[in-house]
Amino acid sequence: MMNLLKKQSELTQRIITAFFLGTLCLGVFFWMPPIVFSMFIGAVIAYCAFIELPKLMNVERFFFWVVLIGYLVIPAFFLIVLNQSHNRIFLFFLFCAVVSFDSGAYFVGKKWGKHKLAPKISPKKSWEGLLGGFLCVLLVIFILFTYFEIFISKGIIFSISLLISVGATLGDFFESWLKRQAGVKDSGKILPGHGGILDRIDSLLGALPLWYLITIKYFY
């Protein structure tokens, strides 16, 4: 399977890998018991902490632990809390929103991106891509809230979509900054077309703390 993927174009690799990851995540969110989910998240965090993160951090030990706790452990805690049976639908919302943001930002930025967002950190990111990602989040959140009959004002939907987009962007930028400091392109090679696990979940890690606060404020 891995050899077959390597023969495909980068875009094809991204699409195929994203399909399998999406299927896995849906299975995890809706059918995996909370205790097993917690163990699964623990294994993912351990892999990132001991395999991928050290490649990005040629710094003193104190900063390593700050990043490990602030960037990985705390968002993982929010992820586990949101995966309790009565919260899983909100975790599904976040997953859909982050995927839509990443997809919208990637394709819009690739097609129309001209104005660089932060060229010294992530040269490929553009304001056009950010806008495309935000509009995709706005559309997806509106559709999901309408379908599941969650009635809140359009202004709040706009604000929620904006916060998710900002959080996802900051998570992406932080990992990009770590990679630039380390002089590497990707955090790993485990996911064809995407790089490492951190390359795939950086936006999710950035959006999770904000999404947790959103669920506390509006849905409880």
192 — phi, psi (to 5°)? -55, 130
Give the pLDDT confidence score for residue 1 in this predicted structure.
45
3 in a structural domain = no
> Do the domain assignments include residue 186?
yes
Give the domain range for residue 35. 9-218
Backbone angles phi, psi at 187, to 5 degrees: -80, -15
Predicted pLDDT of residue 33: 78
**Tokens standing for residue 216:** 């506390």
> Helix, strand or coil for residue 118?
strand
- pTM exceeding 0.85: no
- pLDDT number for residue 2: 44
Question: How many structural domains compose the chain?
Answer: 1
The sign of the CA dihedral 212, 216, 218, 220 is: positive
Q: What is the pLDDT of residue 9?
A: 57
Q: Which helix (H) or strand (E) holds 126?
A: strand 122-126
Buried b / exposed e over 169-197, threshold 16 CB at 10 Å, is bbbbbbbbebbeeeeeebbbebbbbbbbb
pLDDT reported for residue 16 = 66
Q: Is residue 207 part of a domain?
A: yes
In a domain, 213, yes or no: yes
Q: What is the pLDDT of residue 55?
A: 79
- Report if residue 97 sits inside a domain: yes
pLDDT in tens, the chain (220 residues): 444 444 455 556 666 666 666 666 666 666 777 788 788 888 888 888 888 888 777 656 667 777 788 888 888 888 888 877 567 788 889 988 998 998 899 899 989 988 898 888 888 889 999 999 999 999 999 999 999 898 899 999 999 999 999 999 999 998 888 888 878 887 777 766 667 788 888 899 999 999 999 988 888 7
Residue 109 counted as domain residue: yes
In a domain, 105, yes or no: yes
Half-sphere exposure of 88 (CA within 13 A, CB side): 14
Cβ neighbour number for residue 165 with a 10 Å cutoff: 27
The answer to whether residue 131 is domain-embedded is: yes
DSSP state of 73: I
Asked whether 101 and 134 are in contact (CB, 8 A), the reply is: yes
